[in-house]
Amino acid sequence: MPKQTKEPTGANAVFVARAAAAGKRAIVFQSSMPNGYSGLSNFALLTTPFKARSAGKKRSYRSSEIFYQSHLAWSMGLPGLAKRIRNMPHSTRAEMIRIKHAASRKAMTEYIQEALAAGEPRNLILDAKFSGPLLHALWRETGGSDKRPRKAHIERVLKARHAELDCKALMREGLDAKFSQDAESRALLLATDDAMLGENSFRSGFWGIQKDGAPGFMGDLLMDVRRDLRRGALPAAGGGA
């Protein structure tokens, strides 16, 4: 059975204490965390892609994060970006990369180009801070008509579309497909027994472990998938809807 390799700190320590108070084991996971549970991460790459429907077609995805970001882009009316994300040679370094701050337009452009060249799946949509060729592409896809892309327009359109989406349900769809079709991932999840699961996410106050020690949405979703697999509410082998 995999073991945690480091003493937890911060919110993770509160999470572990909260689990202990409930008489349960706590498992903190992350795609880059060498504790044997990296396969639980939505960024974990599968040897054999799972299949799930997106835009009316059954497509292959190497991780639930790729499914999530690609489908999110399509749902927000950005088919070009959805295809770009789906077809990238993705790396598990992705969760460590995020467009957030840049001192100048040149620095931002170089940052984007470097990440795209490295094949990183990106949280491009929620940030909506772009420059260079990618900004122009998004400008066209969101209905921009001027020659000069305007970030404010893109942010306004994408935020309005994002507000209409149920991101938690979308991620659950990807996790269902992953754990019902990939035997290794399914075995790892079921082997956690009744442990509390929480993602070690340095940037997410939504998906990862919360400051008060709550598991966060990713941990909650994985525990729900685990429960449904045990109940037989999800298929135990591949196929895809």
Q: How far apart are CA 8 and CA 10, in angstroms?
A: 7
Same domain, 187 and 219: yes
Q: Which domain holds residue 131?
A: 59-163
Compute the residue count for the chain: 241
88 and 16 housed in the same domain: no
- Do 71 and 119 share a domain, yes or no? yes
What is the tally of structural domains in the chain? 2
List of the chain residues with pLDDT < 50: 91-109, 111-112, 120-131, 238-241
Cα distance from N-terminal residue to C-terminal residue, the chain: 32
Start-end of H helices in 28-104? 64-75, 79-87
**Which pLDDT score is estimated for 87?**
73
- Dihedral angle sign, alpha carbons of residues 140, 143, 147, 150: negative
Domain boundary among 163, 186, 208: 163
**pLDDT per residue as tens digits for the range 108-161:** 445 445 555 555 444 443 343 444 555 566 666 667 766 666 666 666 766 676
pLDDT for res 133: 52
- Residue that finishes a domain, picked among 126, 145, 163: 163
Dihedral sign, CA of 129, 63, 6, 207?
A: positive
- Is residue 83 situated within a structural domain? yes
- 65 shares its domain with 159: yes
My answer on whether 111 and 20 are in the same domain is no
- 112/15 Cα distance (integer angstroms): 34
The DSSP symbol for 45 reads P
Q: Which two tokens stand for residue 135?
A: 């900004």
